[in-house]
């Protein structure tokens, strides 16, 4: 007996990275994003976009815009108000209030008997602590009130990609097969603290999803970079100015590099002696720092190559940023550097979605159907 295709809705879809991670065994019934650059990127990469993609504000949608009944609703709502780089206004602030635009649609679908069987809400780790945890409690209470059991997983993309990118995935479902519960390396201290802070009536809906860790990553940052002769390097003066921003610890890391060492440099604002100061910080652990959007509160990352006692630097290219998100080289990026970095830096890591789908979401959704068939 063949299994019917799994159908999903993708809200705040960006360039469609969750769709890519879910893969060909899933059918997109509906997708939306309000950003024109992201919408154009989605259309450029998915020929069937005209059939299901809606460009516009989630608040302008109605349940009638959503066809049929989805197995899964995926929501990567704007994260600025949860991010440590933002104002931490929480669910009540600015762009993150778009989450409620999404949630009112889920409530309306439930009222019509068309609620998705599962929901994934992906966001920055600040979701767990925003407003001293009040936002996570509100999210859990909303899910539980509609009959969903839920649990959170904190997954760093560094487990599958050479980029440090921790994100929270709240997975909610109406039916929870016992075999999917258990220990997980993604039950981090922050997840456990968020669970411990839930009121009893919300905590009763909690699920400890037993998602295993993927195989050890075997790719480092250097493997994803363009050849040296295919990119534009900083002038010696530009490199000197960048390296001059390093404090003693990071200067020591640079000077200790031997052989051909490839590292990532990112600029941060630090408070030193009561004053804000821009610092360049380098890592040689085979990882890039977390990609940001060009206006996301952090500057564009740089690459440093130390060889023969000399250091050369340059900016990370848009294609390299796309690779750090797990996007294939055939993925069509916006023509402008800013647009391409915005799409990549504001997305979800494709291999993380694939692991979550294959080891949790697909067994979660297929389990009841398989049992019924037997």
The pLDDT tens digits for 130-162 are 889 988 998 999 999 999 999 999 999 999 999
Using 50, 70 and 90 to split pLDDT, how confident is the model at 40? very high
Q: Evaluate whether residue 337 is within a structural domain.
A: no
pLDDT of residue 95: 47
Tell me the CATH number at 78.
Answer: 3.40.50.150
Judgement on whether residues 204 and 241 belong to the same structural domain of the protein: no
Judgement on whether residues 72 and 134 belong to the same structural domain of the protein: yes
The pLDDT tens digits for 225-250 are 999 999 999 999 999 999 999 999 99
pLDDT at 84 over 70: no
* Pairing mode, strands 118-124 and 166-173: antiparallel
Give CA separation, 55 vs 40, 105, 247, 351, in Å: 9, 16, 45, 26
Q: Evaluate whether residue 79 is within a structural domain.
A: yes
Judgement on whether residues 171 and 35 belong to the same structural domain of the protein: yes
Using 50, 70 and 90 to split pLDDT, how confident is the model at 371? very low
Q: Evaluate whether residue 322 is within a structural domain.
A: no
Judgement on whether residues 312 and 190 belong to the same structural domain of the protein: no
Judgement on whether residues 63 and 202 belong to the same structural domain of the protein: yes
d(CA 5, CA 25): 7
pLDDT at 68 over 60: yes
Q: Evaluate whether residue 103 is within a structural domain.
A: yes
Q: Evaluate whether residue 158 is within a structural domain.
A: yes
The more confident residue out of 271 and 83 is 271
Judgement on whether residues 166 and 259 belong to the same structural domain of the protein: no
> How many domains are contained in the chain?
2
How confident is the model over 89-107, as a mean pLDDT? Answer: 73
Q: Evaluate whether residue 344 is within a structural domain.
A: no
pLDDT at 269 over 90: no
Judgement on whether residues 194 and 308 belong to the same structural domain of the protein: no
> CA angle 115-58-350, nearest 5°?
75
Q: Evaluate whether residue 92 is within a structural domain.
A: yes
Judgement on whether residues 141 and 181 belong to the same structural domain of the protein: yes
- Tallying the residues shown for the chain, one arrives at 374
Judgement on whether residues 68 and 155 belong to the same structural domain of the protein: yes
- Is 79 an active-site residue? yes
How confident is the model over 176-182, as a mean pLDDT? Answer: 92
The more confident residue out of 52 and 87 is 52
pTM: 0.92
CA dihedral 188, 189, 191, 192 (to 10 degrees): 120
Judgement on whether residues 361 and 277 belong to the same structural domain of the protein: no
The pLDDT tens digits for 285-326 are 999 999 987 754 446 899 999 999 899 999 999 999 999 999
d(CA 224, CA 203): 42
pLDDT at 94 over 60: no
Judgement on whether residues 176 and 300 belong to the same structural domain of the protein: no
CA dihedral 109, 111, 113, 116 (to 10 degrees): 40
pLDDT of residue 93: 55
Q: Which of 60, 150, 151 is nearest to 105 (CA)?
A: 60
d(CA 196, CA 189): 10
How confident is the model over 209-235, as a mean pLDDT? Answer: 96
Burial 287-298 (b: 16+ CB within 10 A, else e): bbbbbbbeebeb
The more confident residue out of 195 and 86 is 195
Catalytic site residue from 28, 79, 159, 290? 79
* Boundaries of domain holding 280: 227-316
pLDDT at 223 over 50: yes
Q: Evaluate whether residue 359 is within a structural domain.
A: yes
pLDDT of residue 337: 93
């Amino acid at each position: 007996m063949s299994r019917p295709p799994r159908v999903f809705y993708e809200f705040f879809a960006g360039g469609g990275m969750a769709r890519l991670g879910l893969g060909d065994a899933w059918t997109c019934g509906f997708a939306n994003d309000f950003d024109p650059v992201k919408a154009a990127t989605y259309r450029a990469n998915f020929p069937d976009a005209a059939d299901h993609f809606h460009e516009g504000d989630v608040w302008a949608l109605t349940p009638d815009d959503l066809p049929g009944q989805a197995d899964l609703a995926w929501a990567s709502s704007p994260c600025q108000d949860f991010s440590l780089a933002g104002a931490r206004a929480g669910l009540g602030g600015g762009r993150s209030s778009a989450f409620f635009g999404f949630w009112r649609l889920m409530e309306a679908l439930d009222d019509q008997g068309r609620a998705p069987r599962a929901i994934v809400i992906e966001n920055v780790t600040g979701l767990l602590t925003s407003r001293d945890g009040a936002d996570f409690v509100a999210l859990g209470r909303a899910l539980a009130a509609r009959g969903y059991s839920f649990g959170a997983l904190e997954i760093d993309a560094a487990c599958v990609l050479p980029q440090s990118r921790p994100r929270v995935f709240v997975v909610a479902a109406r039916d929870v097969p016992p075999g999917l519960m258990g220990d997980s390396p993604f039950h981090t201290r922050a997840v456990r603290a968020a669970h411990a802070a839930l009121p009893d009536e919300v905590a009763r809906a909690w699920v400890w999803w037993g998602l295993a860790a993927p195989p050890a990553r075997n790719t480092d940052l250097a493997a994803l970079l363009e050849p040296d002769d295919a990119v534009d390097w900083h002038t010696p003066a530009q490199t000197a100015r960048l390296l001059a921003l390093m404090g003693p610890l990071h200067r020591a890391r640079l000077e200790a590099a031997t052989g051909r060492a490839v590292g990532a440099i990112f600029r941060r604002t630090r408070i030193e002696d009561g004053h804000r100061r821009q610092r360049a910080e380098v890592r040689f652990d085979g990882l890039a720092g977390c990609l940001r959007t060009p206006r996301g509160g952090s500057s564009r990352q740089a690459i440093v190559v130390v060889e023969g006692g000399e250091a050369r630097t340059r900016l990370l290219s848009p294609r390299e940023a796309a690779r750090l998100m797990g996007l294939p080289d055939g993925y069509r990026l916006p023509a402008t550097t800013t647009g391409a970095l915005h799409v990549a830096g504001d997305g979800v890591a494709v291999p993380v979605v694939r692991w979550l789908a294959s080891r949790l979401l697909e067994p979660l959704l297929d389990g009841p159907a398989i049992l019924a068939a037997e």
